[in-house]
Amino acid sequence: MSDLVYVLNGPNLNLLGTREPTIYGSTTLGAINGMLASRAGELGLRVQCHQSNHEGVLVDWIHEAHGKAARAILLNAGAYTHTSVALLDAIKAVTVPVIEVHLSNPHTREPFRHTSYIGQAARGTISGFGARSYLLALEAAAGL
Ligand code: DQA
């Protein structure tokens, strides 16, 4: 099985560190990616990390991960989690397992965050542990 894990982050996650820190914490996305790269090395994996504010770009990266026969995709789709049939269809269209990730626990927040299109096709979901959600998801990917 491939050692390559795609890490995809959606809209506004480039602002982690300063974006609503009481909800999302003060760790930057760069720092999260650094922690993931380091832990991936320990697990015998490698990560390829991307962020976009654009839905179709995220779809393209899901296809790319499939084309490279990646082991898994860690996907924090941000607000697209709750709106994007295109991302749901992309996940259904590929064989790479997708692990849904959230820093916050959307189920404890506004009702519009309680629905996840991603979760309807994801292998599993990890949410609510801040930046550690990504590390927990990487551990899950290692165990696939
Ligand atoms: C988020 C939760 C989403 O509801 C929100 O739109 C985000 C971040 C999280 O990581 O907690 O942008 O995905």
Q: What are 68-125's pLDDT values in tens digits?
A: 999 999 999 999 999 999 999 999 999 999 999 999 999 999 999 999 999 999 999 9
**Is-catalytic flag, 102?**
yes
In sequence order, which residues have a C-beta less than 8 Å from that of residue 65 and are 6 or more positions away?
A: 4, 6, 8, 73, 94, 96
**Ligand 1 centre and the CA of 1: distance in Å?**
30
- Taking CA atoms only, the protein residue closest to ligand 1 atom 9 is 102
Report the alpha-carbon distance of residue 47 to residue 7 in Å, rounded: 7
Note the pLDDT of residue 93. Answer: 98
Binning the chain into helix, strand and coil, the percentages to the nearest 5 are 50, 20, 35
Quote the pLDDT of residue 35. 98
d(CA 115, CA 44): 34
Q: Which tens digit of pLDDT belongs to each residue from 15-68?
A: 999 999 999 999 999 999 999 999 999 999 999 999 999 999 999 999 999 999
Residues in the ligand 1 pocket, defined by CB under 6 Å = 12, 76, 78-79, 81, 102-104, 106, 113
Q: How confident is the model at residue 1 (pLDDT cuts 50, 70, 90)?
A: confident
Tell how far the Cα of 139 is from the centroid of ligand 1, in angstroms.
Answer: 21
Is 134 marked active-site? no
What's the pLDDT at 95? 98
**Which listed residue (54, 66, 80, 102) is catalytic?**
102
CA of 136 to the centre of ligand 1 (A): 17
